[in-house]
Each structure stands twice: as C-alpha cells, then as structure tokens.
Amino acid sequence: MKFRPITLLGIPWDDHSSYMQGPALAPPKIRTAFACPSSNQWTESGIDLGQKGIIQDAGDLVLEGEPDPLTKIQTRVTELLDHNTPLFCLGGDHAVTYPVVKAVAQKYDHLNILHFDAHPDLYDSLDNDRFSHACPFARIMETGRIHRLVQVGIRCMNGHQKEQAEKFGVEVHEMKDWQGPPKFSFDGPLYISFDMDALDPAFAPGVSHWEPGGLGIRDVLAVIHNLTAKNIVGADLVEYNPVQDLSGLTAMTAAKIMKELMGKIVDG
Ligand code: MN
Ligand code: MN
C-alpha cells in the first residue's frame, strides 16, 4: 500500500495562554513520546508511520526576533503547503491555530474544520487580548473563508460564546448531549484542530485547564476512525502542557492521538 507523505511542524508558542504557561515546551516532548520504544509507530488501521519518507519533519519554528510570531507562523505554513502534502502542527497553545488556518484557508477554498475542545474558543476578546488562546475560532470565522466549523467535546459554553457560535453558524456538539461518538462527514477539504483538554482530565491531566466531564481516549479515537472526509489537508494538536503532566503520561496520549490522526490523513 502507498500512502501520501505528511509534513510535521512544531510551533513552540504559548504567549497568549490566559491562565498558565507550558504548552511552548510541548513539541519535543510529543516527538519523544511518539518515538518511544515502549510502543511502535503502527496506527490501529494498519499503517506504519515509521516507514521512510512518510513523515517529513520540518522541525520547530524559531519565533524569537522579527517579524512577529503570527506573521512567522502564517508565512512558514504557506511555504510548507506549497509542497502539496498535508501539514500536521504541534503546538503550542490554541493561539497557534489562527495563523495556521489563515494560511490553509488561503490555499483551500470552502475549508471545513473539525475542532475537538472542552472550550468553544470563540471569545471576541479575553483579558483585552484578541489573539488569546480563547479566541482563535472567532478570528478564523471572521475571515469568511470557512465553509463549516464543527466542534466536539464542548462543556464550557457561556452566554457570549453562545452568541458568537450563533453569529458564525458553528455546529456545536456539547458533552451534555453526548450519546456516543458521532459519525462526521465532510465534503471538500478538512482541517482538524485537536485541543488536548477535549479529553477528560482523568485521561489527560497534562493540560492547562482541567475541565472534568470530557471525552475518553477511546471516544476520540472512534470519532477519528469513523470520520468520512475525502481530503484532510491539515491538522494541529495543541495545549499539551508538560508542566502539568504526570510521568509523561499525557505526552504518550498526545502521541497516540497524533498517530491515529496522521494515519487517517495519509490514507486519504
Ligand atoms: Mn482550545
Ligand atoms: Mn480547551
């Protein structure tokens, strides 16, 4: 079997975290967990991501100096998308997703987004910061270039974000209505954004915001495996916070989810 290659990019940036720093330390920890000999690099669907050439590692972005990080991220992502391979970004906090998706949506019309998170991240502004990790999907929807935004795992909806969700036509699947893993289907290009706090903190304590009542790991894997999408053009995995992790367990969970997401993407 032949699979398309995928580009990996680390974005070690957490300047816009509202509560706690730490996600900037995540990319090397997740890479190490992914390569850890305690497991192997075969996806559950039977793809060996360890085979030569399938993961093309572009390293971690250097964000110090000029221009500003938002510009640097968007520029680098645009360059990497020119290779016409799907892109997988390791955050960083969720603020990385706005510049990444801005670049992806410029290349791909009618982009769809599947967003796993405890939080809708639709604040117009939080703590006077319009680029806060609580705001990326407001900025993304304001571009007017997104066909559908589907959110799953949500359990922190409030009045303001509910208004924002209605204004932008976001399809929100809240945990209070959970009846087992939904089967999502997307026409056209798809981007997947995975915030680690979508998982219940019992499964993934290595995040900045512990929000009980979340998804189990098997639930997440079922959503990924059951997903119908012809062309997944990019993804990110964000908000892993090594400072909060116990014995590197959440890093292994992040690496497992990265592996299964990548398996779905390269099989397209
Ligand atoms: Mn988030
Ligand atoms: Mn979150």
- SS3 sequence of 202-254: CCCCCCCCCCCCCECHHHHHHHHHHCEEEEEEEEEEECCCHHHCCCCHHHHHH
pLDDT of residue 212: 98
Closest ligand by atom to 153 CA: 2
Q: What is the pLDDT of residues 180-191, one digit of tens each?
A: 999 999 999 999
Distance of CA 133 from the midpoint of ligand 1 (Å): 6
Nearest ligand for residue 122 CA: 1
Q: How far is the CA of 152 from the centre of ligand 2 (A)?
A: 11
Q: How far is the CA of 248 from the centre of ligand 2 (A)?
A: 20
Whose atoms come closest to the Cα of 154: which ligand?
2
**197 CA to middle of ligand 2, Å?**
5
Q: Which ligand is nearest to the CA of 134?
A: 1
Sheet of strand 111-116: strand arrangement? 55-60, 6-11, 87-91, 228-238, 185-195, 111-116, 146-154, 171-174
Answer whether 0.85 is exceeded by the pTM: yes
Ligand with minimal distance to 94 CA: 1
The CA 53 to ligand 2 mean position distance, Å, reads: 32
| pLDDT at residue 1, rounded to an integer | 60
Please, what are the domains in the chain? 6-266 (3.40.800.10)
Ligand at shortest distance from the CA of 197: 2
pLDDT at position 230, please? 87
Q: Quick one: pLDDT at residue 246?
A: 87
Closest by Cα among 265, 255, 216, 261 to 37: 255
Residues of the chain with pLDDT under 50: none
pLDDT of residue 185: 98
d(CA 121, ligand 2 centre) in Å: 7
Question: Helices 69-81 and 97-107: crossing angle, nearest 10°?
Answer: 40
pLDDT at position 64 is 94
Q: Which ligand approaches the C-alpha of residue 137 most closely?
A: 1
Distance, CA 132 to ligand 2 centroid (Å)? 12
Separation of CA 158 and ligand 2 centre (Å) = 14
* C-alpha to C-alpha distance for 114 and 59, rounded to whole angstroms: 25
